[in-house]
């Protein structure tokens, strides 16, 4: 067995691609760990890794790239301040701005965020910052707040005079800034990473460049889940295109490399309906637990009225128990729960849970079909189509999926394609697309309005 077994394990566990971080570095790390553990075969080391969290921690420390410095790409911090002062503050949210820096490495990035916001005159109780990284060593240094020359690059170091005290060769960060960041160990590849939290601002820079394509995908999905609909997402310059290919749109500011979630008309409406989010001092110390306040893309008028009235109260509302976490306690009930959530219009929760279910049950035809329905209701036709296609691939006689596909073809003007699918559905014996009007009505199951 070669080292690439361990490389695969690393990719699976933390998303890092050996090619991107340097195959030599990985080989060196594995050899060193094997020697330390007195293990002579890679196979035995791979087994040891799979059975020991401690060994994982040790290997991780040797393969991560902790390179970072204060105000790395300064334009991003200028734009952050503009976003907060020109967009977020005027919205008049009653809760503090929640910011996530993932990965935060040794803390330079989240502390730069804190300094930028304080410099802009944002009161310290108006924002909270979570710094998350997989490396416990890096986080230890972050909490210490003591930095050498390598953390200070670029010409303008005036912030160092203001926020640090020099002690010999090193600089100690002053407590008012240190106290503004809450650090936590976390692996962005964990399926339930930060479940239930949302952030107004996410910095996820210089991580995806080291990841495999699949891990980048998963990371972006997670970022999309964690980002508030009106929030902004900062990535590295080499990472933004991947984000733009996967559900984000560019904020066109030179040198900033920020994006936001693609705004759809229904999403905008829903955001306007959303009540104030309740701040929590939850597991990450920053972020909001959305639950009932999650944007509900498609709502019954009665709900709209109810939320609007609650928006006027000054009383913070208690968050409901986390729907996803609760559902996870009974894996056998997961799929019925997805259906129940979808039937009740809780589409985002249904979507999230269905993704989890599909990860465990990748060939479950009805789950693919249901994902299609949910995405269709969320007006994400492209992804809906992919799921309907998968349902048909898994069961070529799936009449409902064929009907939905026929309808989509018709909608985009491909009458011949729609007719082909309709005939195929008819042949299977349950009738085709003519059972649905072209006015976006369905005789079949549909979620939403
Ligand atoms: C190059 S630093 C980026 C720091 C900072 N965001 C910046 O741009 O300066 C990369 C960091 O990613 C962390 N990392 C690698 N894989 C991770 C994972 N799966 N989850 C969380 N952090 C991870 C490493 O520990 C390392 O500190």
From the alpha carbon of 189, which atom of ligand 1 is closest? 19
From the alpha carbon of 14, which atom of ligand 1 is closest? 19
- Please tell me the residue having the least CA distance from ligand 1 atom 2: 66
d(CA 211, CA 41): 26
Task: List, for residues 278-321, the tens digit of each pLDDT value.
Answer: 222 222 345 544 333 332 222 222 222 222 333 333 333 333 44
- Please tell me the residue having the least CA distance from ligand 1 atom 20: 187
d(CA 323, CA 292): 9
From the alpha carbon of 68, which atom of ligand 1 is closest? 9
- Burial code (b: 16+ CB inside 10 Å, e: under 16) for 373-412 equals bbbbbbebeebbbebbebbbebbeebbbbbbbbbbbbbee
CATH 1.25.40.10 positions along the chain are 309-442
Task: List, for residues 199-218, the tens digit of each pLDDT value.
Answer: 999 999 999 999 999 999 99
If one residue of 64, 73, 138, 239 were mutated to test the ligand 1 pocket, choosing by the most ligand atoms within 8 A of its CB, it would be 64
CA 360 to ligand 1 centroid distance, Å:
27
What is the reported pLDDT for 317? 30
If one residue of 20, 21, 105, 109 were mutated to test the ligand 1 pocket, choosing by the most ligand atoms within 8 A of its CB, it would be 105
Give every CB contact of residue 283 below 8 A, 6+ residues apart in sequence: 184, 194, 197
If one residue of 76, 103, 185 were mutated to test the ligand 1 pocket, choosing by the most ligand atoms within 8 A of its CB, it would be 103
Q: Which of 65, 61, 59 is nearest to 137 (CA)?
A: 61
Q: Which residues line ligand 1 (CB under 6 A)?
A: 14-16, 64-68, 72, 103, 105, 109, 133-135, 138, 187-189, 205-207
CA 99 to ligand 1 centroid distance, Å:
16
CA 280 to ligand 1 centroid distance, Å:
25
Neighbours of 320 (CB within 10 A): 13
CATH 3.40.50.150 positions along the chain are 74-261
- Name the phi and psi angles at 183, rounded to 5: -100, 145
From the alpha carbon of 60, which atom of ligand 1 is closest? 25
Question: Whose structure tokens read 């070529």?
Answer: 396
From the alpha carbon of 188, which atom of ligand 1 is closest? 20
Across the beta sheet with 97-101, the strand order is 181-185, 127-133, 97-101, 199-203, 227-234, 258-261, 248-251
CA 83 to ligand 1 centroid distance, Å:
24
What is the reported pLDDT for 297? 24
CA 206 to ligand 1 centroid distance, Å:
7
CA 50 to ligand 1 centroid distance, Å:
22
pLDDT < 50 positions in the chain: 1, 266-285, 288-321, 431-444, 448-449
CA 223 to ligand 1 centroid distance, Å:
14
CA 16 to ligand 1 centroid distance, Å:
10
CA 193 to ligand 1 centroid distance, Å:
15
Which CATH architecture best describes the domain 309-442?
Alpha Horseshoe (1.25)
Task: List, for residues 171-190, the tens digit of each pLDDT value.
Answer: 999 999 999 999 999 999 99
What is the reported pLDDT for 221? 95
CATH 3.30.390.10 fits 74-261, yes or no: no
CA 101 to ligand 1 centroid distance, Å:
10
């Amino acid at each position: 067995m070669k080292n690439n077994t361990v490389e695969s394990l690393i990719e699976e566990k933390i998303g890092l691609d050996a090619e991107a971080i340097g195959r030599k570095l990985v080989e060196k790390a594995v050899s060193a760990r094997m020697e330390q553990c007195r293990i002579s075969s890679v196979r035995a080391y791979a087994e040891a890794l799979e059975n020991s969290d401690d060994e994982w921690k040790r290997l991780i420390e040797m393969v991560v790239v902790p390179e970072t410095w204060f105000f790395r790409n300064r334009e991003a911090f200028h734009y952050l301040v503009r976003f907060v002062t020109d967009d977020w503050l005027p919205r008049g949210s009653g809760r503090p701005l929640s910011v996530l820096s993932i990965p935060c490495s040794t803390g330079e990035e989240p502390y730069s965020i804190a300094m930028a916001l304080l410099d802009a005159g944002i009161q310290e109780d108006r924002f909270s910052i979570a710094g998350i990284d997989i490396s416990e060593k890096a986080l230890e240094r972050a909490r210490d707040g003591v930095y050498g020359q390598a953390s200070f690059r670029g010409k303008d170091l005036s912030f160092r005079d203001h926020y640090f005290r020099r002690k010999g060769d090193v600089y100690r960060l002053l407590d008012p800034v240190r106290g503004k960041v809450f650090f936590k160990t976390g692996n962005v590849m964990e399926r339930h990473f930060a479940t239930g939290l949302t952030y107004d601002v996410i910095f996820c820079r210089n991580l995806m460049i080291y990841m495999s394509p699949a891990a980048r995908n998963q990371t972006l999905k997670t970022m999309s889940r964690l980002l508030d609909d009106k929030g902004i997402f900062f990535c590295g310059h080499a990472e933004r295109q991947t984000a733009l290919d996967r559900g984000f749109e560019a904020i066109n500011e030179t040198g900033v490399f920020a994006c936001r979630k693609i705004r759809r008309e229904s999403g905008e409406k829903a955001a306007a309906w959303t009540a104030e989010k309740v701040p929590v001092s939850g597991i990450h110390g920053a972020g909001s637990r959305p639950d009932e306040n999650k944007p509900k893309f498609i709502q019954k008028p009665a709900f709209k009225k109810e939320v609007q009235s609650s928006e006027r109260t000054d009383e913070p509302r208690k968050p409901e128990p986390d729907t996803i976490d609760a559902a996870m306690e009974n894996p056998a009930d997961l799929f019925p729960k997805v259906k129940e959530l979808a039937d009740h219009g809780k589409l985002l929760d249904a979507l999230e849970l269905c993704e989890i279910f599909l990860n465990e049950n990748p060939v479950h035809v009805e789950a693919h079909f249901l994902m299609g329905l949910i995405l269709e209701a969320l007006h994400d036709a492209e992804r809906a189509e992919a799921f309907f296609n998968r349902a048909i691939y898994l069961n070529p006689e799936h009449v409902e999926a064929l009907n939905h596909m026929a309808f989509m073809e018709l909608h985009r003007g491909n009458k011949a394609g729609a007719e082909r699918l309709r005939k195929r559905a008819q042949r299977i014996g349950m009738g085709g697309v003519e059972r649905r009007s072209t006015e976006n009505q369905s005789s079949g199951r549909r979620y939403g309005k």
